[in-house]
């Protein structure tokens, strides 16, 4: 799957962008795949400095927020 490319440091920015897009879309499965491929993405911050958890709460994605806790 695509998410498996998110393990390397060279793909980090792309993976963070994909993570935040999946959070906004409410795609729990994709967020889970991305985190499984690279657990450090749980600590990712967007271009505004917001954490993935904060983004999930902001977009009312409670299941994703639970996954990120």
Average pLDDT, the chain: 89
d(Cα 14, Cα 11) in Å, to the nearest integer?
Answer: 5
d(Cα 23, Cα 33) in Å, to the nearest integer?
Answer: 12
Q: Which of residues 5 and 30 earns the better pLDDT score?
A: 30
Q: Is the pTM of this model over 0.75?
A: yes
Q: Which of 12-16, 39-43, 61-65 has the highest mean pLDDT?
A: 61-65
How much is the average pLDDT of 1-12? 56
């Amino acid at each position: 799957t695509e998410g498996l490319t998110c393990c390397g440091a060279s793909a980090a920015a792309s993976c963070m962008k994909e993570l935040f897009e999946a959070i906004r879309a409410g795609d729990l499965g994709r967020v889970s795949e991305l985190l499984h491929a690279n657990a450090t993405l749980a600590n990712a911050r967007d271009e505004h400095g917001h954490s993935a958890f904060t983004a999930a709460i902001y977009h009312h994605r409670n299941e994703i927020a639970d996954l990120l806790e």
